[in-house]
């Protein structure tokens, strides 16, 4: 395991290097599990997607071995497609249920995901912001990163939206996520997402990332300028950010900024 720490502009970032997806997932699961053991009623911010699937699998394994309990854990998912019922096969609720919730002892009353069916966008965003506030914010926010630098569905733009909002999905995001659908026309055009404020206010942030297709965006987001054109770049300001990456996603970073701290 190799680790590198960077400090800049008041932000602190640790990059943890793993040989492959399996080890990256175990490394990330270790951090989540340490959080739950240290604070059993932690509020976890959760992503869907391919990047965290191995991490969820590892957490389930540790739960089944009796090493971990989700009994008091509270979760806030980052996003949900607008117009999808929670039992829709492609809803993010369904993803979370199939990939984590149904396998562990989490209380479904403690699980929060935007309601894609709410007729009123304003009402849904206000409701979700209120839930975040009532839970006292997020202890550990887990994130993936889109090829265009999105976090949650905070897509590149002129400015970053602070609160929960409903966003038109970019073509790049639709292309990337169409693999979960029979065809791209089945994909919704809009999604709810937690805004940048809740993400940045999380006490800790853990990003999981794998694959050579993410190597350019990782370099740009964390070693380039902070800009709404690359929403993840704002994370450079966070005081407790850990990036768990595999060899191929970290390739360009390692090339330019050699990882040096052996553990």
**Residues binding ligand F6R (CB under 6 A):** 47-51, 78-79, 144-146, 150-152
Measured from the CB atom, is 180 or 223 closer to ligand F6R? Answer: 180
150 flagged as catalytic: yes
Comparing CB distances to ligand F6R, the nearer of 151 and 218 is 151
Q: Which CB atom, from 73 or from 145, has the smaller least distance to ligand F6R?
A: 145
Minimum CB separation of residue 99 from ligand F6R in Å reads: 11
| Cβ neighbours of 185 (radius 10 Å) | 7
Q: Which of 99, 110, 129, 148 is catalytic?
A: 148
Q: How far is the CB of 67 from ligand F6R (least distance, A)?
A: 25
133 is an active site residue: no
* 148 part of the active site: yes
Least gap, CB of 258 to ligand F6R (angstroms): 26
- Two tokens at 195? 């805004």
Query: CA 129, CA 88: separation in Å to the nearest integer?
Result: 24
- The 3-state DSSP class for residue 69 equals coil
Angstrom CA distances, 161 to 96, 115, 128, stand at 25, 19, 15
Q: What are phi and psi of 13, to 5 degrees?
A: -130, 135
Active-site hit among 80, 139, 155, 246: 155
* Catalytic choice (79, 80, 124, 139): 79
| For helices 53-64 and 21-38, angle between their N-to-C axes, nearest 10 degrees | 50
Residue placing its CB nearer to ligand F6R in the complex, 13 or 69: 13
Minimum Å gap between C-beta 121 and ligand F6R is 18
In contact, 221 and 232? CB cutoff 8 Å: yes
Question: How far is it, in rounded angstroms, from Cα 193 to Cα 150?
Answer: 11
Catalytic positions, written as ranges: 79, 148, 150, 155
């Amino acid at each position: 395991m190799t680790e590198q720490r960077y400090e800049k502009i008041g932000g602190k970032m640790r990059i943890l290097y793993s040989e492959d997806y399996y080890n990256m997932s175990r490394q990330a699961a270790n951090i989540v599990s340490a959080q739950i053991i240290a604070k059993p009623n932690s509020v976890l911010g959760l992503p869907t997607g391919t990047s965290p699937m191995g991490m969820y699998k590892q957490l389930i394994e540790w739960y089944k071995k009796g090493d971990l309990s989700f009994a008091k854990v509270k979760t806030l998912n980052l996003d949900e497609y607008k117009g999808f019922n929670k039992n829709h096969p492609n809803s993010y609720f369904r993803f979370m249920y199939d990939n984590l919730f149904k396998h562990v002892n989490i209380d479904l009353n403690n699980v929060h995901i935007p309601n894609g069916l709410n007729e009123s966008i304003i009402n849904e965003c206000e409701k979700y912001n209120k839930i975040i506030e009532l839970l006292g914010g997020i202890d550990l926010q887990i994130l993936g990163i889109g090829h265009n630098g999105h976090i949650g569905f905070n897509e590149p733009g002129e400015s970053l939206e602070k609160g929960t909002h409903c966003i038109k999905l970019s073509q790049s995001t639709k292309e990337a996520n169409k693999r979960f659908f029979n065809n791209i026309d089945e994909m919704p055009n809009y999604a709810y997402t937690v805004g940048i404020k809740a993400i940045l206010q999380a006490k800790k942030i853990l990003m999981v990332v794998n694959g050579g297709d993410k190597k350019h965006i990782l370099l740009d987001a964390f070693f380039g300028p902070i800009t709404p054109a690359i929403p993840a770049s704002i994370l450079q300001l966070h005081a407790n950010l850990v990036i768990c990456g595999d060899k191929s996603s970290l390739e360009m970073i390692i090339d330019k900024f050699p990882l040096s701290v052996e553990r």
